[in-house]
Amino acid sequence: LKDQFDNLDKHTQWGIDFLEKYAKFVKERIEIEQNYAKQLRNLVKKYCPKRSPKDEEPRFTSCIAFFNILNELNDYAGQREVVAEEMGHRVYGELMRYSHDLKTERKMHLQEGRKAQQYLDMCWKQMDNSKKKFERECREAEKAQQSYERLDNDTNATKADVEKAKQQLNLRTHMADENKNEYAAQLQNFNGEQHKHYYIVIPQIYKQLQEMDERRTIKLSECYKGFADSERKVIPIISKCLEGMILAAKSVDEHRDSQLVIDCFKSGFEPPGDFPFEDYSQNIYRTISDGTISTPKQEGMRIDSKTTVGKAKGKLWLFGKKPKPQSPPLTPTSLYTSSTPNGSQYPIFSIEPVHYCMSDIKTGKPRIPSFRSLKRGWSVKMGPALEDFSHLPPEQRRKKLQQRIDELNRELQKETDQKDALIKMKDVYEKNPQMGDPSSLQPKLTETMSNMDRLRMEIHKNEAWLSEVEGKVAARSDRRHSSDINHLVTQGRESPEGSYTDDANQEVRSPPQQHAHPNEFDDEFEDDDPLPAIGHCKAIYPFDGHNEGTLAMKEGEILYIIEEDKGDGWTRARRHNGEEGYVPTSYIDVTLEKNSKGA
């Protein structure tokens, strides 16, 4: 390969071109992965449910499974993005950096080879010039020798001409000897440089080019492996995503979905009874003797069939008019449940027992079943929110006040730090007057002190309101606890204000408190009878409920909903034993009952 410098130049250039071609391939693959991930995310976003916070969560297992599949698909799209990012960082970026370094190294080696070739060419030119000069001086010396010999043999030539020709011969001979020595030196130098060029310089340059090309091949091999590793690293996570999709598919329960549909649309009404037989032939039989058997005329039969069909059409209530059932006499049992021929019972709306109403009349105590709703109506009419948040429920008011106190404390801390900084700066100015005037800081310091006093007053005022709210909440909790001892709250039955339950055999009414002191009238406006249950919920996650006013719950526990989320992320719930409190809305699966929501 000593004389294949140009071919090696072409080969190394081809290697760099191939490297850049593979880099372009990786770049296009990255773009495909990114577009694929983007399209998958858009697809997930398109089919994800777009619900407002008031909408119910999906309840059917098929819908939940589909949403889980969408989540897994979104994670799968994220893994495709990871593949693209890994390829871009580990493969494409490395290839582009190495290609730049490779071009620089190749350019340097080729320049060294060209310089060595140019130096060898220069040595050859010098040797060739000395050779031509030596050849020319030898011809001149031969001519001088011939001229001297001719004059020396010529008898007519003068001694001076012979002497001059002799001197010229000596001069040419001397110059020929000098050029001979120079030519010999140049020839020796050229031979040495040529040997060095072909046996040392060029082989070294070729070896460097070979190592460079081999490193390029190794780098391509590493990039091939990194290209595959980028895909292989995400295979376990992608497998988990696919397993999640399979688990979501297995979680579909057709019986549960059917039961949800039944629970959602069941009405509790009794099936229609049998239609009575209407005998239209009585008038005909009256005109016939007792011992005679005859058939009615064809005309009469035709007329009766039309009449019968017309009446029957008005009675098919499944596809036409609904018959008006006879209302049975009102009894306490019929007011609570109704039975079907097969023995099953359906709950219907109940009324207050008579003795319950009479007990209220005997006590003479005004019974306001839902004064909280009246207070909410007032707060809506009042327009803007009050400064002490008295328009909010106690727990929400306590949270708002606590948030405001925390904000005021942060502002007070900032003002305190600013005051300390101003005092330090004032001391520095007093010690070093050339740095500034201490009196210039006095207005700012006075303003800071005024802001601190104002913030302390605000904090004191809000803390007073907070202590008032906490005292009321504690008192109401104590009274509610004492009231719950005398009330038996059963699971799945009707609340005092009209919501019903599923078990008719567990209906127990708690008698009202018949003895009350006159000074408890004001407390009745705050602590009235328990709010009606407007639905139920299931705890998705456990909640400790350490803070005052909150309700602890376990995962899977069923609670009654007595107050919806007002936008602050908390829902008011009640246990079966009557314990009430606020729980995080995101921790529960809420199901509102339509027939008890307006009670």
Per-residue pLDDT tens digits for 443-486? 988 999 899 989 999 998 898 888 887 776 565 555 555 545 44
Among residues 240, 259, 278, which one ends one of the domains?
259
Q: Give the pLDDT score at 268.
A: 54
In contact, 185 and 133? CB cutoff 8 Å = no
Tokens of 243: 């397993």
Which range is least confidently modeled, 2-16, 122-136, 223-237? 2-16
**511 found inside a domain:** no
Please provide residue 467's backbone torsions phi and psi, each rounded to the nearest 5 degrees: -65, -35
Looking at the fold, whether 559 and 461 belong to one and the same domain comes out as: no
Report d(CA 585, CA 571) in Å as an integer.
Answer: 6
Q: Is the predicted pLDDT of residue 105 greater than 90, yes or no?
A: yes
Residues 6 or more apart whose CB falls under 8 angstroms from that of 346 comprise 268, 269, 270, 337, 338, 340
Q: Give the pLDDT score at 22.
A: 95
Looking at the fold, whether 95 and 174 belong to one and the same domain comes out as: yes
**How many percent of the chain have pLDDT more than 90?**
32
Looking at the fold, whether 426 and 542 belong to one and the same domain comes out as: no
Looking at the fold, whether 51 and 140 belong to one and the same domain comes out as: yes
**341 found inside a domain:** no
Report d(CA 324, CA 317) in Å as an integer.
Answer: 10
**151 found inside a domain:** yes
**160 found inside a domain:** yes
**240 found inside a domain:** yes
Looking at the fold, whether 216 and 89 belong to one and the same domain comes out as: yes
Looking at the fold, whether 450 and 573 belong to one and the same domain comes out as: no
Within a 13 Å sphere around the CA of 526, how many CA atoms are in the beta-carbon half? 18
User: For residue 77, how many other CB atoms are within 10 A of its CB?
Assistant: 20
Looking at the fold, whether 108 and 191 belong to one and the same domain comes out as: yes
**Ordered alpha helix ranges (H), 442-527:** 442-485, 521-526
Q: Give the pLDDT score at 52.
A: 55
Q: Give the pLDDT score at 391.
A: 72
Looking at the fold, whether 221 and 132 belong to one and the same domain comes out as: yes
Looking at the fold, whether 468 and 564 belong to one and the same domain comes out as: no
**164 found inside a domain:** yes
Q: What is the mean pLDDT of the chain?
A: 75
Instruction: Identify the three-state secondary structure at position 520.
Output: helix
Instruction: Identify the three-state secondary structure at position 268.
Output: coil
Please provide residue 446's backbone torsions phi and psi, each rounded to the nearest 5 degrees: -65, -40
- Average pLDDT score over residue span 208-226: 93
Looking at the fold, whether 412 and 541 belong to one and the same domain comes out as: no
**301 found inside a domain:** no
**95 found inside a domain:** yes
In 3-state terms the chain splits into helix, strand, coil percentages (rounded to 5) of 65, 5, 30
Among residues 450, 473, 496, which one ends one of the domains?
473
Tokens of 52: 């407002």
* Among candidate residues 577, 483, 507, 585, the one with its CA nearest the CA of residue 539: 585
Residues 6 or more apart whose CB falls under 8 angstroms from that of 398 comprise 466, 469, 470, 473, 548, 549
The dihedral over CA atoms of 412, 413, 417, 419, expressed in degrees to the nearest 10, equals: 20
CA 353 to the chain's CA centroid: 54
Per-residue pLDDT tens digits for 393-437? 776 677 788 888 999 999 999 999 998 998 988 888 888 888 888
Band (31; pLDDT cuts 50, 70, 90): very high
Looking at the fold, whether 467 and 572 belong to one and the same domain comes out as: no
Tokens of 175: 């110059």
Tokens of 597: 């929501």
The residue segments making up the domain with residue 399 are 392-473
Report d(CA 575, CA 554) in Å as an integer.
Answer: 11
Within a 13 Å sphere around the CA of 459, how many CA atoms are in the beta-carbon half? 15
Report d(CA 207, CA 44) in Å as an integer.
Answer: 56
Strands 580-584 and 570-574: antiparallel
Q: What is the CATH number of the domain that holds 538?
A: 2.30.30.40
Looking at the fold, whether 567 and 456 belong to one and the same domain comes out as: no
Q: Where are the beta strands (DSSP E) in 316-396?
A: 337-339, 345-347
Q: Give the pLDDT score at 308.
A: 40
Per-residue pLDDT tens digits for 37-94? 999 999 999 988 776 555 555 678 998 899 999 999 999 999 999 999 999 998 999 9
Report d(CA 442, CA 459) in Å as an integer.
Answer: 26
Q: Is the predicted pLDDT of residue 244 greater than 60, yes or no?
A: yes
Tokens of 575: 């246990």
Report d(CA 56, CA 41) in Å as an integer.
Answer: 24
Please identify which residue in the block is written with the tokens 């493969």. 91
Band (101; pLDDT cuts 50, 70, 90): very high
Q: What is the CATH number of the domain that holds 91?
A: 1.20.1270.60
The DSSP annotation for 375-422 comes to: HHHHHHHT-SPPTT-TTS-HHHHHHHHHHHHHHHHHHHHHHHHHHHHH
Among residues 233, 259, 285, which one ends one of the domains?
259
Per the model's pLDDT, the better-predicted residue between 292 and 209 turns out to be 209
Tokens of 117: 């070739």
CA 490 to the chain's CA centroid: 42
Per-residue pLDDT tens digits for 559-599? 999 988 887 888 999 988 888 999 999 899 988 876 544 43
Per-residue pLDDT tens digits for 294-347? 444 444 444 443 444 344 344 444 444 444 444 444 433 333 334 444 444 444
Q: What is the largest CA-CA distance in the chain?
A: 201
Q: Is the predicted pLDDT of residue 510 greater than 90, yes or no?
A: no
Q: Give the pLDDT score at 29.
A: 94
- Average pLDDT score over residue span 550-567: 89
The DSSP annotation for 167-206 comes to: HHHHHHHHHHHHHHHHHHHHHHHHHHHHHHIIIIIHHHHH
Q: Give the pLDDT score at 502.
A: 40
Count the domains in the chain: 3
Report d(CA 75, CA 26) in Å as an integer.
Answer: 23
